[in-house]
Every structure is written in C-alpha cells, then in structure tokens.
Amino acid sequence: MHTAGFRWPVTGVVLAGGASRRMGKDKAFLELAGRPLILHVLDRMAELCQEVLIVASDVSRYAGLGTRVVPDVFPGVGVLGGLHAGLRAAQHDLILAVGCDMPFLNPALLRAFVVWAEGYDVVALRRGEQVETLHAAYRRTCLPAMEAVIRAGQQRIISFFPYVRVRYIAREEAEALDPGLRSFRNVNTPQDWESLLAEVERAR
C-alpha cells in the first residue's frame, strides 16, 4: 500500500485563495522553476490522490491548468468555505486539503494523514494552541457541521471541530516523517517568497 505509484482513493483539494493581500499578487501564479507555484502543488497531490481538484472564487482564472475547478458554495467565508466546497465536490469520502502555496509537500506525510484518518472526521497537526487546518484530512461527515456553523455566521475553520471526531497529530509524530515540517511551509509575504526561493536554490 505504501509503494510508489499507488494512488489512494482520496480527493486532493487545493485551495486557491485568489487575492493575496499581503503578497500583493496571486500566490498561485508565482513562478517557481519556470512554472506556476500551484502546478507544483497539483503535481505532488496527483502522485498520491486518485482525484485532485481546485477550489477558487474565480473559476475562470484556473481553468487552463488541466484540473477540475469548483467555486465556493458559500462565497466570502474564507478557507472554511473552500473546505466545504471541496468536500461537497469530492468523489471520495476523504479529502486531503492543502494550500496552493505549499511547494514542499511530503508524500509520506500526506499518506500518513490518510492512515491517521481511519475512524475520524478530521486529522490536523496541532502545535501548542495553533491548529494547522491546511495540510489536513477531512471526511464528508463534516459537511452538516460545517454548514451549520457557516449559516450561524462563523468563519473560523475550527468552529465546527467540537461537533465532529477530531484527531490531533503531535509535532513529533509529523516530524518523524517530515523533519522540520517543511510540508507546512507556505507563502504569505514577499519576504516568505524570497526565503522560499533561496531555500530551493540551496537544495539544488
């Protein structure tokens, strides 16, 4: 089951946020090694997942990437709305949700999240008080609770967690497969992007 080339019956959901205010431009189309950042993420997810889709508020912007794109069902609700839309559109019961700006995704860690999800609705890394809600696993059973909190006007992703079965992964468990937790690196500011480019250059 852990051999290279095996694709799991899971949907990879890549959230493309669109207007990246702190970056000043759309993060998804920042160029890394001659290709848009989001394509690196899509490729990595496609190695592992039988289905991959993009959730975006502006579907047309991502239509040329060769991957199914779905819009938010509840626009303006941020990442929670994106997760809801991805879960609703997914062919599979379980999704792995990541951001479009996470180029260091680790297949071994993503596979572990699928295994850890057995018997749970959500699997997420917790570091102290912080819960990593992207690079996490969500099951379709979350949909009623998600919809209830959205209709109640809540936008925090973890607002539905009390109503579902959540497994929190400790930092040590994740670092055993992904030293330094590089998988969780993302890009929010121009400084983040320069740092990431320098890291890629050093790795070469």
Give the CATH number for residue 40.
3.90.550.10
Q: What does the alpha-carbon distance between residue 74 and residue 41 come to, in Å, rounded to a whole number?
A: 24
Query: Residue 98 domain-assigned?
Result: yes
Query: Residue 2 domain-assigned?
Result: no
- Rounded to an integer, the average pLDDT of 107-111 is 95
83 or 23: which carries more pLDDT confidence? 83
In the predicted model, is pLDDT for residue 19 greater than 80? Answer: no
In the predicted model, is pLDDT for residue 99 greater than 80? Answer: yes
Query: Residue 3 domain-assigned?
Result: no
Tell me, letter by letter, the H, E, C secondary structure of the chain: CCCCCCCEEEEEEEEECCCCCCCCCCHHHCEECCEEHHHHHHHHHHHHEEEEEEEECCHHHHHHHCCEEECCCCCCCHHHHHHHHHHHHCCCCEEEEEECCCCCCCHHHHHHHHHHCCCCCEEEEEECCEEEEEEEEEEHHHHHHHHHHHHCCCCCHHHHHHHCCEEEEEHHHHHCCCHHHHHHCCCCCHHHHHHHHHHHHHHC
Q: What pLDDT does 17 receive?
A: 67
Containing structural domain, residue 185: 10-203
Total number of domains constituting the chain = 1
Q: What pLDDT does 161 receive?
A: 98
Residue 25, burial from CB neighbour count under 10 angstroms (0-12, 13-18, 19+)? exposed
In the predicted model, is pLDDT for residue 133 greater than 60? Answer: yes
- For residue 101, which of 1, 10, 22, 11 has the smallest C-alpha distance? 22
What is the average pLDDT score of the chain?
91
Q: What pLDDT does 188 receive?
A: 83
Query: Residue 37 domain-assigned?
Result: yes
Residue type, 198: A
